[in-house]
Amino acid sequence: MRRAFFALALLAAVAPQARAQKPSDPVPDVPTPDTLGANFRHDSVGTSGPTDFDFLDGSWTIRFQARKCNGQSGQLVCPREYWPARRGTWSARRIHDGQVIEDKFGTIDPNDGSRSFTLTYRVYDQAKKTWEIAGTNAKQGSPWAPGTSWADARGDRYVVQTYGTGSSSLITRIRYYQVEPDHFLWRADGSVDGGKTWIPDYWKIEAHRDGR
């Protein structure tokens, strides 16, 4: 018994210790099974149930990645190249007697470790059978970004959300897919011409539930 205990203690002493991740450490790219983007009709809203976003409840560790886009002559030019992925967090909870889902999404700046957060509120519309949502930058107090979301029979969730107003507005169509209790993938297409043309996979995310 003593020998077994001594052997275990020795292994523990010499085993390499896991190093805490630093913001500057490389982050693997966010996977996508294809290059089609979210690929759904943003002007054809489906229906949803009041529990379709319950899977978000809790805390998640994420990887976030954005396309390298530049504005040129009033156009948004986006080659199929991405900025390095960033680590981040995502958490959600029900508030106001369970009638509202509040979620907090944030990424970590690899240069200095600072964080930026977006707060989103989701309310189920019983009459329309859709989720009405609105998000804003938690630090800057930027204008609210309104949107609508729903689900389909496969379990994918869809969101159409608009950032800004007028000719400078960005419309996003977002799809949550491969949704499991402890993992999901998320991809968003962007449009700056009212939905006539789309930039596939403008943003993309992979999420893993904390502690699993």
The number of CA neighbours under 13 Å toward the Cβ of 92 is 15
Q: 10-42, pLDDT tens digit by residue?
A: 323 333 444 456 656 778 999 999 988 999 999
Check whether 139 has a pLDDT greater than 90.
no
Closest of 20, 23, 21 to residue 113, by C-alpha: 23
Give the SS3 label for residue 8. helix
Residue 151's H or E segment, with its range, is strand 145-151
What is the pLDDT at residue 212? 60
What is the pLDDT at residue 69? 87
Q: 165-209, pLDDT tens digit by residue?
A: 877 789 999 999 999 999 999 999 999 999 999 999 999 999 999
The letter for the amino acid at 89 is T
- Greater confidence, 212 or 117? 117
Tokens of 115: 């964080």
- Greater confidence, 52 or 72? 52
Q: 101-136, pLDDT tens digit by residue?
A: 999 999 999 888 888 899 999 999 999 999 999 999
d(CA 191, CA 164): 12
CA distances from 132 to 26, 34, 126, 127, 179 (A): 36, 29, 10, 11, 20
pTM: 0.84
Name the CA radius of gyration of the chain, rounded.
20
Query: What number is the average pLDDT over the span 134-158?
Result: 90
- The answer to whether residues 188 and 198 touch, using CB atoms and an 8 Å cutoff, is no
Q: Which domains does the chain have, with CATH numbers?
A: 47-209 (2.40.128.20)
Query: What number is the average pLDDT over the span 133-141?
Result: 86
Q: 84-101, pLDDT tens digit by residue?
A: 999 999 999 999 999 999
Tokens of 110: 């690899």
